[in-house]
Structure 1
């Protein structure tokens, strides 16, 4: 255990699905923009209304997902960026890196970081900011989770659990709780007030790679590593009834790397989206587990990260072909298609 996240391979042949993948939706011309990154894109987060922040081997970028234009390049990290996130309704961006450092950046400010958060001994692989933007939670392969004051950079708490190689963090909206996935195959719920584990879900069979929380704070998702059709599922957990999983979403052939809850309303059933090393993005019915749409991004290599832009648009970061803009539409059935790449 522990090899999945320690080194990412950029050779894509090993991730291709052995069985054919059925793609749904009409084929149309994809708008090609100049690449935002020169190398693999490891993470992406959406900003409002039409902006995003992304990270990779060539550090942090701040492009428009509508035009593909790079508005800013942030300079400071010495190695590959592993995670990016932003504070809600603010001009602050946070990034984590293999250089063991976490940094805060001010949009429309200077290219350099406005705050540093040193303290981890290994690559930082988890990053979550509180809903009010006052606190930051970070996690690392050094088995630690840390809490920080975003204004002062002061470390407010540090917790270490043996074998807890953190893979992802996300903050529960409106709550003092943080969800964390780990290479020890568990999903933990942390209480940020004392930085204590409030609950641990039953362990899965595979490394847990990513997590997300629904906007109402009721559910969380986690994704699993996998290969050759074994593993690779996403799992839905109820944060109020925490004894067992609610639903599983099976269909990816390789490691599932990212999961997001999709916006929904009276005309649209609750749904989620996942991306995988098998180069596919899938949309699922949240409650039944049925796969509603599959899109295969040919030539993209492994897919690393998803971000929700609005009620019909997703961003998908890939190792080989940049950031893909995906559009969802609902007619006779849900259609998922690629409309642009940058």
Structure 2
């Protein structure tokens, strides 16, 4: 007779539970199960306080290092301090020249001629008389006389110790006067214009002594050779000429360059002349050194500006024992060059200053640079070797 369990199993159609036997474990399965349970226990085991603090400290250290690195990368270097005393002019400054060890004379778009103490940052004198903007200024060393040229087609002479009006006028050009030079030896003024003419004047009487005209000789700059009757002239016809002031004739003309010659200067010993070239995008834009005793070819060229080289001067002190030249450009930079090697040894970038049409140098080693956008900039060498040129003031 069947048992009750067997009857129930038969009724449900399932095999009796007593007939289901578990399969014996395979070899090694027992150890795998133990290892899995241990790993699972470790996975879900709460971390100790020491482990938590260690991980937190490591995360803080990594984040702090990252923040420090980001801060050093993002923080700009400390801005240089540029003093801004009373401005000399309202608007663009076209020309600046050294007057004494601490005074300069300048002229600009506001039609005025200004004497300024650049060491103290104070305006000394302001002269009014031109009807249009001033293009060039110069002075007679060791004297009381200042000179200016203007778009009003005239040149004027001013007395530093006198009144605010001009003491002498020089009229005779048909267009803007763009060249101005004076000789302390011969007591003569030389002017040049876009009307293709060059004139010499008696500074005491204002009389025109000589007048010469050359076709297409649009004068850009004039410079008197120290102690000599010769005048160096730069021109838009790409030529540097040497005039003999005694008869006002061309004594020599250097081989024409590829671009307009914008400016010129003569070394204090009267041996060398430097001129600047127009250009853009690095094409042209060079300064050229000429030997006035050997007038057949140029001595050296100075390359580095990317826009017109508007002004070039010899530095009175040079760089230590080495003679040096400074140039300013429409690319907003002033560069200093070794006259012997032609290498650029210092650069100052006057960002936003616009064109830099004129430079003036002092025995102290300071430089003044006129600009079209931001007045006159004072530059100084911050190292004894003269390799670090920095802006320290603008006015």
Name the residue aligned to 2:228.
175
Q: Hey, what's the Cα distance between the residues in 1 that align with 2:263 and 2:320?
A: 28
For 2:349, the equivalent position in structure 1 comes to 296
2:387 is the counterpart of 1:334 = yes
1:165-186 deviations in whole A, cap 9, x for unaligned? Answer: 0000000001100000000000
Q: For the Cα contact (< 8 Å) 2:318–2:324, is it kept in 1?
A: no
Distance of 1:264 and 1:54 partners within structure 2: 22
Would you say how many aligned residue pairs link Structure 1 and Structure 2? 317
Report Cα offsets for 1:8-67 as digits up to 9, x if no partner: xxxxxxxxxxxxxxxxxx973111112111100010001112111100111211111112
Distance, in Å, in 1 between the alignment partners of 2:223 and 2:311 is 12
- Map 1:1-342; keep pairs closer than 5 Å: 28-58=80-110, 59-132=112-185, 134-264=187-317, 267-331=320-384, 334-342=387-395
**Mapped partners of 2:387, 2:319: distance in 1:** 15
SS at match of 2:388: strand
Q: Give secondary structure in 1 for the equivalent of 2:357.
A: strand
- Counterpart of 2:22 in structure 1 is none
Q: Tell me, which stretches of 5 or more residues in structure 2 are unaligned?
A: 1-77
Contact 2:378–2:392 (Cα < 8 Å) also in 1: yes
* Alpha-carbon offset, residue 268 of structure 1: 2.8
Post-superposition offset of 1:329: 4.2
Distance 1:242 1:27, change over 3 A: farther
2:53 maps to: none
| Bigger relative CO (Cα 8 Å, ≥ 6 apart) | 1
Aligned to 2:44: none
1:179–1:190 CA contact under 8 A, matched in 2: yes
* Counterparts in 2 of 1:183 and 1:266: CA distance versus 1, 3 Å: closer
Q: Is the CA contact 2:86–2:123 (under 8 Å) kept in the aligned structure 1? A: no
Secondary structure, aligned partner of 2:101: coil
RMSD: 1.4
- Conserved 8 A contact 1:88-1:132: no
Q: CA 1:322/1:133 → structure 2, altered by over 3 Å: closer, same or farther?
A: farther
From the two aligned structures, give the one with the greater helix fraction.
2
Q: 1:265 to 1:289 in 2, by over 3 A?
A: closer
1:250-302 deviation digits (Å, cap 9, x = unpaired): 00000000001012379331110000000000000001110001110011111
CA distance in 1, matches of 2:245, 2:371: 32
